[in-house]
Structure formats: structure tokens, C-alpha cells
Amino acid sequence: MKELRDKLKKIAIEKEGAKELSSGALVLETGDFTGRSPNAKRIVLDDSTRDTIDWDNSTSISIDGWEKFKDSFLEHAKGVTLFDNCVYAGHTNFFGISVRVKTELAWHSLFAMNMFSEIEDCDADFDLYYVPSFSVDPHVIISFEEKIILISGTRYAGELKKSVFTVLNHMLPEHGIFPMHCSINLDSNFENPTVFFGLSGTGKTTLSADPNRNLIGDDEHGWSPDGVFNFEGGCYAKVINISQESEPEIWKASQMQNSILENVILKNGVPDFFDNSLTDNTRSSYPLEYIDNSIKDRSSKLQPKDVVLLTCDAFSILPAIAKLTPQEAWKFFMIGYTSKVAGTERGVNTPTATFSPCFGSPFMTRKPNVYAELLKNYLEQSGANCWMLNTGWTNGPVGRGNRIFLEDTREILSKIYSGELASLETFEHPYTGLNVPKLIDVDLTLLKPEFGWINTSKYEESCTFLLNEMVKALQD
């Protein structure tokens, strides 16, 4: 595979504008689209999807529309040199699919090799074509019946991995496996798995890449009666504002031989991770093995000990930590409250409150309650503790307060890992009704956010608004 990688890298440098770091890592720009295009994805409406897709959350394309698009797409592709390789998404000991990936850009082929397990050849379960030149506007179309994924109009590599994630999310519930938009790590003894749910920008990658823990993966996993497993063979980390001091594992992994940096600005041949002149959604793709404490097998036969639901509360309403019952976890998972962080999606320039069921609604094809019931059932069966961990703002909302310090979040996490937090008594937060552990060695505003506001009545007003929005989201 090294020979193929070297060939693809050379093409990316000579013909696709890639720049090579002294380490061998590639740096590229994705053009107009520096994040996912959420309105681009459509699923073919046919007999296999008519009653299984949540059409309130998914956009359909008719069979006739699909046939016309597919025919035009594939005719166009005949005139383009495509790079062809095979990868495996999922885990051979649990569940997965083989995907034949055909890309117009050499670096997209390298990206696929980073993100999934490379295989020599395959009788593919799915065929994925990524041909940006076919259209001006982004398109991501999936046919479950014909087992084809067609992507065009954008060079943002995240569309490739998320389309495969969408396919697995649809298939796994039929096998009693819970597909999760999450990261997972284990303790130093390779025990006590901790699962982190959360949308982009809430901290899944950062918090799971802990030098004192062992990483299974940072984004996409399955939870089965036999354990947990990573869908991917790589990481796709958001790298805006990272430094060697703040996030040494990701910083190092982003600048190694096969790493790919998207929309990162170079200064004198060195990545400037603090420069957001192209986007706040700068990204790094690298093989999971580049994280020193990653687990080679990408799985664990143990059931999770702790499940953490991450949220980035831009309004400084929620406590930094709360303990959830399985039923409360079901509700919080169905609501999926967080704030979209600038740059994660095209057109999002400032933090905005959003409600994304399952903390990954754009990638979940079935009704949200299908996934929420799987979470609740697995929590009850495993006995895992469940936590809401807020990585958003304290001492007031965006514009007045400050984001919760990463050091404070990590200190709370250390108490989750040790079991200390689960042993503490809790108090009911009077405004949100959440059960908050009685921590005595943290800033009180993290447990009682109202204390950080200059005007308590303004906090109460904002809290009432947010809770009402949560109720509406749950009803919807």
C-alpha cells in the first residue's frame, strides 16, 4: 500500500495543489465548501427505504430522478480518471461493509485510506463515487437498493466519511447494534470504556485523546452485546487553535507522514493552527495508529462503564455536569441540544442553538426513538453511569461570559473515570431540574451557572426560553 500512497501523494502535489510538509503530511484547500453541506444529501425513495427512513429528517429523490442523475453522473465519470481502491468500514469481529471508493481527486483516495481499513481487493457491498467536477452545487445521493453513493460539487472530504457513516447507521439497528456518533476510550488497564456523544465542536476528539487513556476511536462506533467497536481506521479532528501544549497528541498526529490537513494555513512551511482565514472548521485526517495510546484492534469486548453526553451550551444555562437516569438520558438524547460551532457547517459563523436528535441527526436515517431506545436499553443492561457534560459557556452567554476551561472539563472527567463522581450525592438544580454532583473543589458557577450571571432575572428568562425550546424539540 505504501507504493500506492506515494503515487497518489505525488499526483496530489503535482496536479491538485497539495503542499507537502517536511514530515510528508499534505496540506490542501477545499475551495468554497469548507464544511458539510447539510442540504446536499438525498436518499432514493424506493421499496427498501419507503418505510424505514425518517422522511421528516431525510430528503428523498424519486427513482426517476435517481436514474437520470446516476446516468449523467456516470457518463461524466467516464471522461475522468478515477482513483480506485477498496476499504472496509466497521469491524470484522462485529459488523461492517466493504466499500469500493472511486475518486476524481488523488487526495480523496488517500483520505479514504486514512479513515477506513485498507483491503487489497473486495467484492464491494457498496460503491462510492466522489467526482466533484460533475456539478457546481454539492450532491450526496445514496441508493440503499443499488448500494451506490454518488458525491459531487464539493471537495470537502468529510462528505465521504459521513456518507459511509449514514449507511452503517441505517443498517446496524436491524442487527440489534447501536450506531453512535461518539468517541470511546479505555483506562490504562484497557478496561472501563467511556463513551462520548456529541456533535462537532463539543469535544469528542479532544477529550477522548487523553494521554492517560487508550483510544478506540474519535467519531463513529457501534455498541453491541459483545462490546464496542470503531467504524473507522483513522481520525478526522478539528484542529483550529490547537497547540503542542494544549493538545499534544492531535498536534503531533496531524503532522506525520500520511496526515492530511484541510484548509490549514502555512506560515513559512509550518501549519498555523490559529489562522482561521479560510474557515474555523480546519481539519486533520490521520491514521488512528498515529495516536500513541490508540488501541490497534479498535474495539473492546467490555461494556461501557460511563456514557457522557456532551453539549456546548452557548447560553450559559446548563451546569457543567449532571448525572442522568436511563430515562433522562433517553430524553436528552432525543433532544440533542448543543450549539453549532462556527465553521462546522457552511453558513454558520457564530454559535447557534440547535437540537439534533441522537447528537448526529443528519447521519441518522431512522426515527430518533429507534436510536434512543437502543441507548436506554444498553444503559439499563450494562449498568453504565450516564452524564451530561457541558463544554460551553460559563459566567454568561456568548459575548459576555467565557467558554468553560478545558482544564476544568478534564478535571471533572478524571473524577468520572475514577468513580468518584458516581459516589457523590447530588442536588437538584432548581432551574433546570438536573441532578448535579456535590463537588466541593470546583468553581461554584460550574455547578450553579446562575451565580455567574450579573443579573439573575436575565438568567431565569434565558433558562425559561431554552427549556421551552427543549420541550418543543422533544415534542417534534
Q: Is 2 helix (H, G, I), strand (E, B) or coil?
A: helix
What local confidence, expressed as pLDDT, does residue 339 receive?
78
Mean pLDDT of 282-298: 94
Task: Report the CATH number that the domain containing residue 375 is assigned in CATH.
Answer: 3.90.228.20
Kindly report the CATH number assigned to the domain that includes residue 138.
3.40.449.10
388 and 438 in one domain?
Answer: yes
Number of domains forming the structure of the chain: 3
Are both 274 and 410 inside the same structural domain?
A: no
Q: Where residue 341 falls among pLDDT bands split at 50, 70, 90? A: low
Question: Active-site residue among 200, 224, 279, 294?
Answer: 200
* pLDDT reported for residue 161: 95
Torsion of CA 347, 351, 352, 356, to 10 degrees: 90
Return the pLDDT at 413. Answer: 97
Give a yes or no: residue 218 inside a domain: yes
Note whether 170 and 82 are same-domain residues: yes
Can 162 be counted among the known catalytic residues?
A: yes
The whole-number pLDDT of residue 201 equals 77
Residue 182 sits in the same domain as residue 244: no
The catalytic residue among 5, 30, 34, 36 is 36
Residue 365: pLDDT band (50, 70, 90) is: very high
Contact 280, 343 (CB under 8 A): yes
Which residue among the candidates 139, 204, 376, 429 is catalytic per the annotation? 204
Last residue of a domain, one of 290, 313, 333: 290
Q: Which of 71-75, 169-173, 298-302, 466-470 has the lowest mean pLDDT?
A: 466-470
Q: Which residues 6+ apart lie within 8 Å of 367 measured at CB?
A: 54
Task: List b or e across 209-225, with b for residues whose CB sees 16 or more CB atoms inside 10 angstroms.
Answer: bbeebbbbbbbbbbbbe
Answer yes or no: are the C-beta atoms of 320 and 312 closer than 8 Å: no
Do 411 and 459 reside in the same domain of the chain?
Answer: yes
Residues 313 and 423 in one domain: yes
Give the mean pLDDT of 328-353: 74
Residue 113 has pLDDT above 80, yes or no: yes
The Cα-based distances of 156 to 29, 114, 138, 238, 357 in angstroms read 9, 15, 10, 13, 24
In a domain, 27, yes or no: no
Which pLDDT score, from 0 to 100, does residue 58 have?
94
Please, which residues bridge with residue 388 across strands?
Answer: 309, 322
- Domain presence at residue 229: yes
| Confidence at 353, pLDDT banded by 50, 70, 90 | confident
**pLDDT, tens digit (0-9, with 9 covering 90-100), for 148-202:** 999 999 999 999 999 999 999 999 999 999 999 999 999 999 999 999 998 877 8
CA of residue 326 relative to chain centroid, distance: 23
Same-domain status, 11 and 114 = yes
Active site residue 283: yes
Let me know if 346 is a catalytic residue.
no
Residue 268 has pLDDT above 90, yes or no: yes
Give the pTM. 0.91
Show which of 126, 160, 175 is a domain's final residue.
175
**If DSSP codes are grouped into helix, strand and coil, which group holds residue 425?**
coil
77 and 58 within one domain: yes
**Annotated catalytic residue 204:** yes
Q: Helix (H, G, I), strand (E, B), or coil: what is residue 25?
A: coil
User: Do the domain assignments include residue 24?
Assistant: no
Average pLDDT over residues 374-397: 97
Domain, as residue range, for 86: 2-17+36-175
CA distances from 67 to 70, 143, 164, 437 (A): 5, 10, 21, 56
* Band of residue 342 on the pLDDT scale cut at 50, 70, 90: low
Task: List pLDDT tens digits, range 399-414.
Answer: 899 999 999 999 999 9
Look up the CATH number of the domain holding residue 245: 2.170.8.10
Asked which of 148, 175, 202 is the last residue of a domain, the reply is 175
Is 175 designated active site? no
262, part of any domain: yes
Q: Binning pLDDT at 50, 70 and 90, where does residue 398 land?
A: confident
Residue 402 lies in a domain: yes
* Helix, strand or coil, per DSSP, at residue 293: coil
Q: Can you tell me the distance from the alpha carbon of 451 to that of 443, in angstroms, rounded to the nearest whole number? A: 10
Q: How many CB atoms lie within 10 A of CB 67?
A: 14
436 assigned to some structural domain: yes
Marked catalytic residue, from 283, 340, 366, 429 = 283
Q: How much is the pLDDT for 383?
A: 97
Query: Which of the following is catalytic: 210, 218, 219, 280?
Result: 219
Same domain, yes or no, for 143 and 260? Answer: no
pLDDT in tens, 234-254: 999 899 999 999 889 999 999
Q: Is position 71 annotated as part of the catalytic site?
A: no
Are 168 and 120 found together in one domain?
yes
CA angle 271, 276, 282 (to 5 degrees): 65
More confident residue, 207 or 376: 376
pLDDT, the chain, mean:
94
Selected catalytic residue, list 205, 206, 208, 344: 205
One of 102, 162, 340, 366 is an active-site residue; which one? 162
- Of 214-223, 354-363, 389-398, 432-441, the least confident: 354-363
pLDDT at 346: 52
Is the residue at 251 inside a domain? yes
326 with 276, same domain? no
Looking at the fold, whether 266 and 123 belong to one and the same domain comes out as: no
Residue 349 pLDDT: 53
Q: Is pLDDT above 70 for 309? A: yes
pLDDT at 350 (0 to 100)? 61
CA distance 383 to 191: 15
Of these residues, 181, 221, 298, 366, which one is catalytic?
181
pLDDT band at 360 (very low <50, low <70, confident <90, very high): confident
DSSP state, 36? B
To the query of whether residue 108 is one of the catalytic residues in this protein, the response is no
> CA-CA distance, 102 to 172, in Å (whole number)?
24
Has 100 been annotated as catalytic?
A: no
